[in-house]
Amino acid sequence: MSKVCQITGKKVITGNHVSHSNRKTRRTFEPNLHVKRFFVPEMEEWITLKVSAAGLRTINKKGIYAALLAADKSGNLYRH
């Protein structure tokens, strides 16, 4: 599975390492992802999501069900 948050859609981006002598080499910036299980009372089941730290904050703010609906609407939610 790819390194993409299923709630916010954050993914790997690229940039440069810049050394002290100002040489530039390519690097990647990866999201802070965690695999977590959540209980969804509306569906009465446990789901496993790969979420970023920002995604966890979104879930805490909106609630898991509202966050899932918003992620599904924006196309970030991955179903297997």
Q: If DSSP codes are grouped into helix, strand and coil, which group holds residue 71?
A: helix
Reported as a pLDDT band with limits 50, 70 and 90, residue 17 is very high
The position carrying tokens 């050394």 is 19
Q: If DSSP codes are grouped into helix, strand and coil, which group holds residue 66?
A: helix
**What is the C-alpha to C-alpha distance for residues 30 and 11, in angstroms, rounded to an integer?**
7
Reported as a pLDDT band with limits 50, 70 and 90, residue 80 is low
pLDDT tens digits, residue range 26-72?
A: 999 999 999 999 999 999 999 999 999 999 999 999 999 999 999 99
Reported as a pLDDT band with limits 50, 70 and 90, residue 75 is confident
Which has the higher per-residue pLDDT, 59 or 1? 59
Query: In the predicted model, is pLDDT for residue 3 greater than 60?
Result: yes
Query: In the predicted model, is pLDDT for residue 78 greater than 80?
Result: no
Burial status of residue 58 (CB atoms within 10 A of its CB: 0-12, 13-18, 19 or more):
buried
| Rounded to 5°, angle at Cα 61 from 57 and 63 | 105
Map out the domains of the chain with their CATH numbers.
Answer: 13-74 (2.30.170.40)
Helices within the chain (DSSP H only): 53-62, 64-74
